[in-house]
Amino acid sequence: MSSFTKKVKSAITELIEPGDKVLVAVSGGADSLALLYLLEQFSQELGYELFVGHLNHLTRGKESDKDASFVENEASKLSLPVFVDKIDVKKSTLKSSFQESARILRYQFLEDVLLSVKGNKIAFGHTADDRVETVLMNLFRGTGLRGLAGIPEARGHVIRPLLNCTRSEIEGFLDEQNLIYRTDSSNNETKYRRNKIRHEVIPFLKTFNPEISENLLSLAEIARGEEQWMSENTRELYSQLVTPENEDLCFEINEFEMQPLAMKRRLIRETFYQLNGSLRGITALHVQQVLGLFASARVGCWLKFPGSVRVDCRYGTVCFSKSDDLVSTEIDKKTKRLEIPGVTSLEEVGIQFQVRLLEPPMPKPGNQKQAFLDFEKTGENIQIRFFQPGDRFVPLGMRGHKKVKSYFIDQKVPREERSLIPILTNTHDDIIWVYGERISDSFRVTENTKKVLFIEGKSL
């Protein structure tokens, strides 16, 4: 047994246990094909079961189809169950780059296959070369210790038995075994960031230091050891400081600011990770922006980050939440006429307005979801919309106008709830009622009111 094969067997022994059901992600390229044959070589001895998965992204026409057929044939040679599917990445509804969309769809496919075979591990053919490229990618976008550590050998049920093997070692193994592999023509296109690093950046760096790849791998190992130790401390402190509020993750500003700067940075990254399951797209600049939000502590300030994460400053806390731009945009543009008399439903926010015309005198509203208004002042053309920048009204009991935004701040209405509060306006777009909060003094019932407009909001 060669030293290369011994190294791989040792890694397999560490990552796979007897009785495991392992799905091997096989593209048909050198790395994944070598992984397949090496895993099959030791499967009986080490007592695990193998399955093969391949997703055709339909990006290179006949070349992609040939890749899929090649994987099926190789699995057949080894008498292994194979699962092949195809999806057009270019028609995907995912809002990300082509490569990122392809990665997400591939993982979804593999997870589905793993579930169907009742498996417990997915094996990828990432190598030491991939690890070097990842370290550089992370370094260029701004990263901490976790990014410098590069690709982990195991995370959850994903394993990478070839991570300590170089691409040249793998190609040597394939040559010795007379195994022919597929070559993806798109791997040479430098429009993709990883390919550009592989074909241009690393060769350039080697003109300064021929051993740059080995040095980066050593850096990754050092970073991984320290990252593991720091991560344990971060998770422990995170569990003590974070307070879940519905689906938001909130920190008391004073407690957070007492932590060392290095720990504050890690707590921020941990929170991003808890919300999205990864730190993809999060840079050192983003972390610095969140630190600034904590330091300024101005209620109402907020920032938006990759992965649809919103961070906003509230009263004594800073909260991280997942936001949905599409829903917010749709709600912002919604307007609906109020049926007088009648029932008007706003399904998007789960509220139904019931309207009647009454004779005075009228009692005071029983709660903030009821409004008694002078019908002659409001008129019969009443629209329901949502908050818009610059909105002003005269809150009941006041004489001058006040910005709705300032009113929300004074009443400590959480920022994420403001865009979901219905606002009723007349034909001139004057605000009559900020629902659940306060009517406008300009439309209140007086002793001269002849007909009362009664509106009550109820949950659907």
pLDDT value for 174? 94
Q: Domain with 265 in it: what CATH number?
A: 3.30.465.60
pLDDT value for 374? 92
Radius of gyration of the chain (CA): 30
High-pLDDT (> 90) share of the chain, % = 54
Across 24-33, 141-150, 313-322, 417-426, the highest mean pLDDT is recorded for: 24-33
Q: What is the pLDDT of residues 213-236, one digit of tens each?
A: 999 999 999 999 998 899 899 999
Give the separation between CA 382 and CA 422, rounded to whole angstroms.
12
84 and 131, same domain (yes or no): yes
Q: Of the residues 323, 345, 362, which one is the last residue of a structural domain?
A: 323
308 and 421, same domain (yes or no): no
- pLDDT beyond 60 at 328: no
Residue 368 and residue 437 in contact, taking contact as beta carbons nearer than 8 Å: yes
Q: What is the DSSP string of 337-369?
A: EPPSSEEEEETTTTEEEEEEEEPSP-PPPSSTT
Across 5-19, 292-306, 367-381, the highest mean pLDDT is recorded for: 5-19
Average pLDDT estimate for 306-330: 76
280 and 175, same domain (yes or no): no
205 and 115, same domain (yes or no): yes
Give the separation between CA 313 and CA 207, rounded to whole angstroms.
48
Residue 53 and residue 110 in contact, taking contact as beta carbons nearer than 8 Å: yes
Q: What is the dihedral of CA 13, 15, 19, 21, to 10 degrees?
A: -130
pLDDT value for 327? 43
Tell me, yes or no, whether 290 lies in a domain: yes
- By CB atoms closer than 10 A (0-12, 13-18, 19+), residue 389 is exposed
Q: Domain with 86 in it: what CATH number?
A: 3.40.50.620
- Of the candidate ranges 16-25, 359-368, 432-441, the one whose mean pLDDT is the lowest: 359-368
Q: Of the residues 306, 323, 340, which one is the last residue of a structural domain?
A: 323
- Of the candidate ranges 5-19, 77-91, 194-208, 274-288, the one whose mean pLDDT is the lowest: 274-288
Q: Which domain holds residue 304?
A: 246-323
Q: Domain with 408 in it: what CATH number?
A: 3.50.40.10
Q: What is the pLDDT of residues 234-291, one digit of tens each?
A: 999 999 999 988 788 999 999 999 999 999 999 999 999 898 887 777 878 889 999 9
Tell me, yes or no, whether 236 lies in a domain: no
175 and 123, same domain (yes or no): yes
300 and 348, same domain (yes or no): no
Amino acid letter, residue 359: E
Give the separation between CA 405 and CA 165, rounded to whole angstroms.
59
Tell me, yes or no, whether 335 lies in a domain: yes
- Of the candidate ranges 122-136, 237-251, 341-355, 385-399, the one whose mean pLDDT is the lowest: 341-355
SS (H, E, C) 418-445: HCCCCEEECCCCCEEEECCCEEEHHHEC
Tell me, yes or no, whether 235 lies in a domain: no
186 and 304, same domain (yes or no): no
Tell me, yes or no, whether 221 lies in a domain: no
Place 366 in a pLDDT band, splitting at 50, 70 and 90: low
- Of the candidate ranges 72-86, 261-275, 389-403, the one whose mean pLDDT is the lowest: 389-403
168 and 85, same domain (yes or no): yes
43 and 139, same domain (yes or no): yes
396 and 413, same domain (yes or no): yes
Place 336 in a pLDDT band, splitting at 50, 70 and 90: confident
Give the separation between CA 261 and CA 266, rounded to whole angstroms.
9
What is the residue-averaged pLDDT of the chain?
A: 88
Place 460 in a pLDDT band, splitting at 50, 70 and 90: low
pLDDT value for 364? 67
Q: Which residues contact 355 (CB under 8 A, 6 or more apart)?
A: 338, 339, 340, 341, 342, 343, 344, 453, 454, 455, 456
Tell me, yes or no, whether 360 lies in a domain: yes
User: What is the pTM (predicted TM-score) of this model?
Assistant: 0.60
pLDDT value for 329? 46
279 and 351, same domain (yes or no): no
pLDDT value for 330? 47
Tell me, yes or no, whether 301 lies in a domain: yes
- pLDDT beyond 80 at 191: no
Q: Of the residues 209, 234, 256, which one is the last residue of a structural domain?
A: 209
315 and 335, same domain (yes or no): no
pLDDT value for 96? 63
Tell me, yes or no, whether 272 lies in a domain: yes
Query: Into how many domains does the chain fold?
Result: 3
- pLDDT beyond 80 at 116: yes
Average pLDDT estimate for 201-207: 94
Give the separation between CA 248 and CA 289, rounded to whole angstroms.
19
**Residue 179 β-bridge partners:** none
Place 326 in a pLDDT band, splitting at 50, 70 and 90: very low
More confident of the two residues 14 and 86: 14
Give the separation between CA 165 and CA 142, rounded to whole angstroms.
26
pLDDT value for 36? 96
